[in-house]
Structure 1
């Protein structure tokens, strides 16, 4: 780590705190809510209040896990070599305790919004799901045995920001999870996971050097590149599946995925370092654009 964690000064500017929240990852929190609400509009009636609360929960968890990751990686020294966004703890811009508290504050916002959602819907068992989401967010890189260091980060993203976020958004509005919603959760999860794969591919060398055993370090450079391309393909196939279950107009969302042709080519052809930052950004935005087009098609249909 470039600066001892205990010696870090609270000198981070608001802009650096914003960058530390990693705004490029936020589309991954918005996409499941938008896509699920589109399915709800096609099959039932949208509950705007429930959808908005689900969005708050998703965004708060995403920012919270980003700050928690910054804190945990920073105190372990695994953020010493990075080419991506600023690391508040690893670069000595903020005290570890301050960044940790920022993560906890985000988790608190998610908890309050989640509780309001439970009260609104009457599905009290969802409290257990919410607790699992917060614990999963913290223990991604926190605790003595973080599962993100065991190569399970992608599983977490697919399950919680794909299946849980998408199906949960639909469920709190209709009380059911149909086939179209489940397939939507799969393609959303695949594209969201691709964002993390691109991120870990970018950090592969630094993670390997610091002993952080992400899935990318386990699969190796070539395997990680194949996984990224495969996830994008699953996203496209998932859209076809939703179109078969609902309306062919959903296929218009494939146009949004055309944006990923260049990033996929860059990954397959060996892009590294800062070149992968553009891939990460494009993947997140493409996922959000796909969700928006898909939702609009379902609403109009």
Structure 2
């Protein structure tokens, strides 16, 4: 094999480890938070861009950490039906994946220094906790994903925190002085929290599909995800409830919070969501659920674009 072919193979392996197909979970909250900021007249482009860079780095760092720790803890085996994991398959050494995890999280913290300048101490705390939990999802003495807390982690950090944080740094840029030690007035609003719920629900739904697919192998490896604890039926009910949350919130924003009817634009994705749900409710194999996993990620991305667009329209 030529050196060029080896290099291409390693590049593909690193892309597999980074799992770019999961980046909608990083982009969606920034898109929605920015759409709401534009609606509220506090849009600030540079904080929005830096929020996305930071969120993407945390997502990739978490993916690297999952790849490494699931392999060394024995959760990833040859029986796994999911996408190829580079540590378990031997494509990249465990030491290199662990080092990449540390570097990526370090870059996320470095990127966050600008956001700390803009948003002050609240963003410093949120950023450090986010990085720590990204590592603790599968690492550390009490890995969250191994004890049924993964769904809660995703709901909070890739939904509530990510959307409200994106809105916060833009609002703080417009409404407050740099390096604030408290939460400035008008930077964390009821509307921002409400807008975060659909993203939280759909981001968590991605994880539910992943865990439903891996229920049998995770149980055998002692990885007690929420899907392992709940079983197939309750996990599918969770998936349905998370999707329902995403479609209830725009209706509430329209009827109960004074937003215009354009906020209902995400409802155009409802037939696509129903199609994916049908697969999740009837299949447990990787041949069906791997596509459903990617489709839920696409649903999140399209929903976020529609939601943000509906918020921006006067």
TM-score strictly above 0.5: yes
Aligned position for 2:289:
276
Q: What is the CA RMSD across the aligned residues, in angstroms? A: 1.5
**For 2:270 and 2:112, how far apart are their aligned partners in 1?**
31
Q: Deviations over 1:26-52 (max 9, x none)?
A: 101100000111111111231000000
Instruction: Report 1:60-209 matches (<5 A).
Output: 60-80=57-77, 81-119=79-117, 121-175=118-172, 176-209=187-220
Mapped contact 2:212–2:284 kept (Cα < 8 A): no
**For 1:190 and 1:226, how far apart are their aligned partners in 2?**
13
Aligned position for 2:180:
none
TM-score of the superposition, structure 2-length normalised? 0.89
Structure 1 moving runs of 4+ over 4 Å: none
**For 1:212 and 1:225, how far apart are their aligned partners in 2?**
19
Aligned position for 1:3:
none
Aligned position for 1:223:
234
| Runs of at least 5 residues in structure 1 that lack an aligned partner in the other structure | 1-9
Mapped contact 1:22–1:85 kept (Cα < 8 A): no
- How many residue pairs get matched? 291
Instruction: Give the CA deviation at 1:202.
Output: 1.0
Aligned pair 1:295/2:308, yes or no?
yes
**For 1:12 and 1:75, how far apart are their aligned partners in 2?**
23
Tell me which of 244, 258, 264 is aligned to 1:233: 244
**For 1:194 and 1:29, how far apart are their aligned partners in 2?**
14
Aligned position for 1:249:
262
**For 1:181 and 1:242, how far apart are their aligned partners in 2?**
11
Mapped contact 2:197–2:249 kept (Cα < 8 A): yes
Q: Deviations over 1:215-248 (max 9, x none)?
A: 0100011111111111111111122223332221
Which stretch shifts more, 53-62 or 262-271? 262-271
Instruction: Give the CA deviation at 1:256.
Output: 2.1
**For 2:119 and 2:126, how far apart are their aligned partners in 1?**
14
**For 2:8 and 2:188, how far apart are their aligned partners in 1?**
47
Mapped contact 1:11–1:94 kept (Cα < 8 A): no
Q: Deviations over 1:158-214 (max 9, x none)?
A: 000001000000001113122221111111101100000011111111101111100
**For 2:236 and 2:306, how far apart are their aligned partners in 1?**
27
Mapped contact 1:158–1:192 kept (Cα < 8 A): yes
**For 1:276 and 1:52, how far apart are their aligned partners in 2?**
32
